Amino acid sequence: MADTKRKHRVLVVEDEDNIALALDFLMTREGYDHSRVANGAEALPRIRDLHPDLVLLDVMLPGASGYEICQGVRLDPDLADVKILMMTARGSAIEKRKGLAIGADGFITKPFELKELREEVRRLLDTGA
């Protein structure tokens, strides 16, 4: 289960408060060290600052889109080990493909099943470990 040496750090980039609330609840229960950014423009500095293990990244954000943030992370060699899980409400196959092409490690469609999200988060953190 959770790493005994140190807690995984997760950053939630999500502008919708209710989703953020739900994710906060889940991350706490899973025992992750987590924090949240509501604005796209602030996301990249926070990621650089925090160097999280995983970013839960919404696509539609004020300031900068999730794709732009994702690309920003991938262009920064210092952040190579940061995993990115993208979330969107309109998850067509083409959007998923775009997300993965830009460098996301996973792509998940809202509304998501709790189980589905939990497993995807664990998969990404375990492979990163």
Partner 1 sequence: MLDRLSLRIRVFLFFAALGLGVVVAISMGFGLGYRRLAAPEALSGFVQAWVVAGFVALLLVAWVWFLFDANVAKPIDILSGALRARAHSDVTSDMDVAIARYLGDLAPAATAAARRLTETRSALAESVMRETQRLSQEKARLETLLSDVPVGVLLVSGDHTLAFYNTQAVDLMAGGVAPGLDRRLFDYLRDGPVRHAHDRLIATGDPDAATDLLCTTTTGARVLAARMRLTPGGQGAAPGYVLTLRDVTADLSAHARREALLTEVFDRMRRPAANLSTLMAVVPPGEALPEAMERALRQELGALSQAVTELAGRHDEGRIEGGGLTQTRALDLADGLKARLEAEGVALQSTAAEVLLRANGFEIISLLDGLALHLRREIGAEDLSLRIDEEDSSAMIRLCWAGAPLGIGALERWLEEPLDRLVPEVSCRSVLASHATEIWPEPVAGGRQSLCLPIRQARRATARPKPVIRSVVYDFDLLSRARTDKVAETPLEALTYVVFDTETTGLLPQQGDEIVQIAAVRIVNGRRVDGEVFDTQVNPRRSIPLSSTEVHGITEAMVADAPEVDEVLRRFHKFAEGAVLIAHNAPFDMQFLRRREAELGLAFDHPVLDTVLLSAVIYGQHETHSLDALTHRLGITIPEADRHTAIGDTVATADAFLKLMPMLKGRELTTFGAVLTEVRKHGRLLKDLN
Q: Is the CB of 93 or the CB of 129 nearer to partner 1?
A: 93
Asked whether the beta carbons of 65 and 43 are under 8 A apart, the reply is no
Which residues of 2-122 form beta strands (DSSP E)?
9-13, 33-37, 54-58, 83-88, 106-109
* Nearest distance from C-beta of residue 84 to partner 1, angstroms: 13
Alpha-carbon gap, residue 109 to 77, rounded angstroms: 28
* Nearest distance from C-beta of residue 9 to partner 1, angstroms: 25
Quote the tokens at residue 7: 């807690």
* Nearest distance from C-beta of residue 88 to partner 1, angstroms: 11
Q: Is the CB of 75 or the CB of 129 nearer to partner 1?
A: 75
Site residues for partner 1 per CB under 8 A: 64-65, 67-68, 71, 75, 90-92, 94-95, 97-98, 101-102, 109, 111
Q: Is the CB of 46 or the CB of 98 nearer to partner 1?
A: 98
